[in-house]
């Protein structure tokens, strides 16, 4: 006897309308293995006809990747009528893109009847692409690595293409470099040596260009230099924070921030960048120091070409 397949569940029995009557004398059941319906990558419904021939009858489906089967659905009653009834078992937990053999088996006190062997093949898992960037945002003048995975049946050894669309995103996506081939796990990794400005990236499957990853935006952080007029100051006196922001023009918000005891940063002063040169701007702001601690400069960039950034952390020591 085949052992029960715990992952095959959800059996139903439905009377077959219009089935011809049979002789009233009870006998071994008659069966007919039907088709498999509702196939997905991991499941399907097995169908059959069972005629109990007037005696209490049970049935199950034998399932396996060969005609030896090896697995069976739980045994379910088909009743004791004299007409054929439709029966069904839901098969779940199957392997994608795999061919399975199956047949219906019915039993009553007069004997056991096995249906004809049939096969079905589960669906392939559709391809899907995901991609991410490290780091993101990238420091000005640096590069990033775009890594991701192709999921789905047959995801190894597939060619994938990196595409980019730089700000203001009006160019459209164009290929970057040469295609890469996914590894045994469907993984891939594109090194981008330099990201000149904030850019949209996506990955496309070469053999099926309709398979496209979600867009990932890689920001390019402006470079903030920070200088102070002093790092030791009497309480209540001022420290001047000044430096440059590259590349950005005048008008960006500059926040002088102090770190709290919980590690968060709060603004203690604000100013704006002013024109410094063709590719950079300057800032300068004096701050009254009530107590020493960690300070930094945060620059908020309003344009889409670059993203906001922080300057280095400066430790200010205060004394009475």
Nearest one of 112, 114, 87 to 101, comparing CA atoms: 114
| Angle subtended at Cα 253 by Cα 247 and Cα 258, rounded to the nearest 5 degrees | 110
CATH assignment of 128-220, among 3.40.1080.10, 2.60.40.230, 3.40.50.850, 2.40.50.100: 2.60.40.230
Beta strands at 3-4 and 71-72: parallel, antiparallel or unpaired: parallel
pLDDT of residue 304: 87
Backbone angles phi, psi at 74, to 5 degrees: -60, 150
Domain boundaries, the chain: 3-121, 128-220, 223-319
Please state, in angstroms and as integers, the Cα–Cα distance from residue 272 to each residue in 36, 262, 290, 311, following that order.
70, 28, 23, 15
Express each pLDDT in 115-169 by its tens digit. 999 999 999 999 999 999 999 999 988 999 999 999 999 999 999 999 999 999 9
Whether a cis peptide bond, with omega within 30° of 0, leads into 135 is yes
pLDDT level of residue 320 (50, 70, 90 thresholds): confident
pLDDT of residue 18: 35
Q: Are 281 and 247 in contact (CB under 8 A)?
A: no
% pLDDT > 90, the chain = 85
| CB-count exposure of residue 303 (10 Å: 0-12, 13-18, 19+) | middle
d(CA 150, CA 158): 8
* CB atoms near residue 6 (< 10 Å): 11
Count of residues in the chain: 320
| CB-count exposure of residue 142 (10 Å: 0-12, 13-18, 19+) | middle
Express each pLDDT in 212-229 by its tens digit. 999 999 999 999 999 999
In the chain the first and final C-alpha atoms are separated, in Å, by 91
* CB atoms near residue 255 (< 10 Å): 19
Q: Which fold has domain 3-121?
A: Immunoglobulin-like (2.60.40)
Q: Do domains 128-220 and 223-319 have the same CATH topology?
A: yes
Please state, in angstroms and as integers, the Cα–Cα distance from residue 294 to each residue in 123, 209, 260, 291, 297, following that order.
59, 51, 8, 10, 11
Q: Are 301 and 215 in contact (CB under 8 A)?
A: no
| CB-count exposure of residue 314 (10 Å: 0-12, 13-18, 19+) | middle
Mean pLDDT lowest among 7-11, 52-56, 284-288:
7-11
Q: Are 110 and 138 in contact (CB under 8 A)?
A: no
* CB atoms near residue 231 (< 10 Å): 12
Nearest one of 232, 244, 251, 241 to 292, comparing CA atoms: 232
pLDDT of residue 317: 96
pTM of the entire predicted model: 0.74
Express each pLDDT in 282-300 by its tens digit. 999 999 999 999 999 999 9
Q: Does the pLDDT at position 261 exceed 90? A: yes
d(CA 161, CA 287): 51
In order, the DSSP letters of 237-277 are: -EEEEEEEEET--TT-EEEEEEE-TTS-EEEEEEEE-EE-S
* CB atoms near residue 112 (< 10 Å): 12
Q: Which residues pair with 180 in a beta bridge?
A: 160
Q: Please tell me the CATH code under which domain 223-319 is placed.
A: 2.60.40.10
């Amino acid at each position: 006897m085949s052992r029960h397949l715990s992952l095959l569940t959800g059996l139903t029995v439905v009377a077959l309308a219009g089935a011809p009557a049979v002789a009233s004398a009870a006998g071994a059941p008659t069966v007919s293995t039907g088709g498999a319906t509702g196939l997905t990558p991991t499941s399907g419904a097995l169908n059959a006809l069972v005629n109990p021939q007037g005696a209490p009858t049970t049935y199950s489906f034998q399932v396996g990747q060969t005609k030896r089967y090896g697995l069976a659905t739980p045994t379910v009653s088909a009743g004791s009528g004299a007409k054929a009834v439709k029966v069904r078992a839901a098969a779940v937990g199957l392997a994608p893109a795999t061919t399975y053999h199956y047949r219906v088996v019915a039993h009553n006190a007069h004997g056991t009847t096995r249906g004809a062997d049939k096969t079905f093949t589960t669906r392939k898992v559709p391809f899907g692409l995901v991609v991410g960037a490290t780091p993101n945002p990238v420091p000005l003048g640096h590069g990033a690595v775009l890594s991701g995975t192709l999921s789905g049946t047959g995801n190894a050894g597939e060619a994938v293409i990196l595409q980019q669309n730089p700000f203001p995103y009006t160019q459209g996506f164009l290929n970057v470099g040469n295609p890469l081939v996914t590894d045994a796990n469907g993984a891939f990794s594109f090194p981008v040596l330099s990201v000149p400005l904030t850019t949209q990236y996506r990955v496309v499957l070469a053999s099926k260009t309709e398979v496209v990853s979600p867009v990932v935006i890689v920001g390019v952080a402006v470079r903030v230099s920070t200088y102070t007029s002093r790092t030791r100051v009497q309480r209540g006196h001022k420290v001047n924070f000044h430096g440059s922001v590259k590349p950005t023009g005048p008008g960006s918000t500059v926040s002088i921030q102090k770190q709290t005891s919980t590690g968060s940063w709060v603004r203690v002063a604000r100013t704006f960048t002013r024109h410094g040169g063709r590719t950079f701007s300057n800032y300068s702001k004096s701050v009254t120091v009530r107590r020493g601690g960690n300070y930094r400069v945060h620059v908020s960039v309003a344009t889409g070409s670059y993203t906001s950034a922080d300057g280095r952390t400066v430790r200010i020591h205060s004394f009475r």
